[in-house]
Structures are given as C-alpha cells and as structure tokens.
Amino acid sequence: MKHAIALLFACLAIPLSAESAPKRIPTHEDIWLMKRVSAPQVSPDGHWIIASVIEPAYDDNAQLSDLWLIDTSARHSSRRLTSTRRTESGVTWSPDSRRIAFSAQRDNDDVPQIYLLDLAAGGEAQRLTNLAGGARTPVFSHDGRQLAFVSLMYPKARDDATNKELIEAQRTRKAKVRIFDGFPIRSWDRWLDERQARILVIALDEDGLATGNARDLLAGTALAASAGFAGRQTDTGEEIEVEFTPDNQAVVFAATTNRNEAAYAFTDSQLFIVNVSGGEPRQITTGRNAWSQPRFTPDGRTLLAVLEIQGPSVYNASRLAALPWPALDKHHIVTDGIDRSVGRCRP
C-alpha cells in the first residue's frame, strides 16, 4: 500500500505540476490554489489507482474536482476520468476491477446520486439512482451483482414516492420555525431534521446496469423506528457504514440506538446484520462501546471493525478488532500493542 501511495504521487507529478521556477517565498495564493490529491483507491487487482484531484479557487463556484486513473506500473500516463465542477465522493471499485461507482451531483441532479463508470468499455458514467433523498457511499457485493448505498429518508416514508412528497412539503411550507421534541438538534453549524440514514440495495446485471428498483432494508423495522437510531455523524453528514457478508445474502452495518441520549451520556454504536431480502436487523455486538467500519477479510473467515472502547476520558483510542465469522463468539484486539488510534479499516 505504501508503494501504491508513493507511485500515485509520482504518476501525478508530470500531468499536474507546473514548470520549474526560481525559488521564492510562497504566497497565500500559492498555498490556497495548490492542487490537492485525495486518498488513493487501489483496484482489487492492484493494477490501477483512482484519486480525486481538487483544483481550488477563491470562488467556490469556480473550484474543480475530478477523478484521475493512474497505472500502478507507470507504463501508461495518468488520465482524467471526469470533468465536472462538483466533487465526486465515495469512490469504490467493483470486485473485477472493471468498474467504479461513486456519488456525485451532476447538473441535472437536485441531490447527489450514484453513478457507475465502466472503465473497460469506456464512455460516460451512467446514473444508477434517482432518489429524492439522494444516494451516497456505494459498496459492491463480493460478486459484483449488488450495490448497497445510503439515502436520507423521513421516518414515516416507506418508499421514495412518499419521501419525495415529505421533502416537497417541507420545502414549500411558508413557516420556517423549527420545533424539536428530541435530541440532537444541530451538528456543528447545521440544523438537523427528522430524516434518517437508510440502507438501500440495488441488483445489477453483468453489464453493471440496474435490474430493478432499490430495496430499502430498514423501512418498517423496529430498529429504524427507535428514538435513538442513527448512523455515524461525519463531516459530510450522517453515514451508515455497510459491508456485504461473504455469501452476499446480507449486509453488516454499524448504527447507534441511543443518539437521543447524547446530551448527557456517551453514545455507543453496534454492529447489526440484515438480509438483503428484508427482515428485522439482528444486533451482533453488545456493550457501551463504539463499533464502526466493518470489513471482511478476503477469505471471508474474519470480520474486522474499528472499536472505540468508551472510558471515563473524553478521548478514547480506536482499535482494530477481529471477530471470527460466522461464529462471532468473541472478538480480539489486533492492534493492542500499538500506541496509536486506528483511522480506516481496509483489509
């Protein structure tokens, strides 16, 4: 992985760097307008890297962000895959390394949607979703025939049509007064509304095209209806981290059931499993700790996740934990001997 990251910057150096110039003191403009490269996403076969390159601007409307494809062998020049003003996010590779899926808000989109780009066949990215609540953080199943993602839905909405009606009613109402009967009400500088993160799954054919409508796995469940249900709050909003089980028949995800207690207590988050065919999610971890980022090892025998053990301190180190699959009888800490927090779990 270190070699891939080093190669990423080496490959981007030629197409993205300016001609050499005499040494001088950098200005604010030099620093602010410097191109920025996102974390690399390496293809499963190890042959390619996807990275987002941001071209900042003082005017937000003039800022550019596009995806670039880099050959890890450096035999081919890096090339730009997208050319749009808005940012693409949540880039993920298909298991066969032929396609990528990502979330983006194109010119005709009111909110971000999921797009799929076939790198082997070429052409433009194809939109897979058209949901009123948007779609983000796509995840492929291990056989590449399903795609899970997150969408924002009102608690009473059982389908996209109902959710769209509720969104439109909220948008057109004349009164802008906000009434809260629960907690929390804000996330940093943003007011929160009733909408909650839901997990949806859509089936794909061999060409990566959707074969039907997306299925909401949490609609009508007791878990989603509980007062404290929520995903994890991030800089981009509320997210639910999803991973398909090795047999592709269910998904494992992390969620909290006591966010409504956050005013006076630490909130925990647990791992749950739910069948892609529907049904009530089953909780597979317990305690007052925070679980996140579930990922299976390539052999499908171990479920990895980031675990933050809640203690008396405000700051608690995050550890990498491993649970045997499918037994899930007892977890052990993989990084117990490391005096550092774990950031991202990516086997």
Highest-confidence range of 23-27, 140-144, 232-236, 260-264, by mean pLDDT?
140-144
CA dist 5 → 10, 11, 39 (Å): 9, 10, 8
pLDDT reported for residue 19? 58
Longest Cα–Cα distance in the chain: 65
Phi/psi for 14 (5° steps) reads: -70, -50
pLDDT confidence of residue 181: 80
Give the distance from CA 8 to its chain's centroid: 22
4 pLDDT above the threshold of 70? no
Return the DSSP state at 60: G
Q: How far apart are CA 254 and CA 231, in angstroms?
A: 7
One-letter amino acid for residue 83 of the chain: S
Q: How far is Cα 127 from Cα 135, in angstroms, rounded to an integer?
A: 11
pTM of the model: 0.88
pLDDT at 236: 66
85 pLDDT above the threshold of 90: no
Mean pLDDT of 197-220: 93
186-196 per-position pLDDT tens digit: 877 888 888 99
> Higher pLDDT residue, 1 or 300?
300
Residue with token string 């693409």: 88
DSSP-H helix ranges across the chain: 2-16, 28-32, 160-172, 222-225
Q: How far is residue 216 from each of residues 151, 160, 195, 213, measured CA to CA in Å?
A: 9, 9, 14, 10
Q: Which residues contact 234 (CB under 8 A, 6 or more apart)?
A: none
DSSP 25: P
The closest of 162, 165, 242, 155 to 195, measured between CA atoms, is 155
- Between the CA of residue 159 and those of 105, 117, 129, 165, 225, what are the distances in Å? 21, 27, 14, 10, 15
Q: What residues pair up with 216 in beta bridges, in sequence order? A: 200
Radius of gyration of the chain (CA): 21
CA–chain centroid gap for 107, Å, is 22
Which residues make Cβ contacts (< 8 Å) with residue 189, sequence separation at least 6?
A: none
Q: How confident is the model at residue 265 (pLDDT cuts 50, 70, 90)?
A: confident
pLDDT over 80 (residue 12): no
Question: What's the average model confidence in pLDDT over 64-72?
Answer: 93
Q: Give the least confident one: 7-16, 136-145, 235-244, 324-333.
A: 7-16
The yes-or-no verdict on residue 256 having pLDDT over 90 is yes
| Mean pLDDT (the chain, rounded) | 89
User: Phi/psi of residue 32, each to 5°?
Assistant: -65, -40
Name the more confident of 311 and 89: 89
pLDDT in tens, 284-296: 999 889 999 999 9
State the Cα–Cα distance between residues 162 and 164, nearest whole angstrom. 5
Whether 185 shows a pLDDT value over 80: the answer reads yes
Q: Residue 1 above 70 pLDDT? A: no
137: pLDDT strictly greater than 50: yes
Please give the Cα distance from 260 to 282 (Å, whole number): 21
Instruction: State the average pLDDT over residues 233-257.
Output: 90
What average pLDDT does range 55-66 have in this prediction? 87
For residue 15, pLDDT beyond 80: no
Binned at pLDDT 50, 70 and 90, residue 2 comes out as: very low
pLDDT at 10 over 70: no
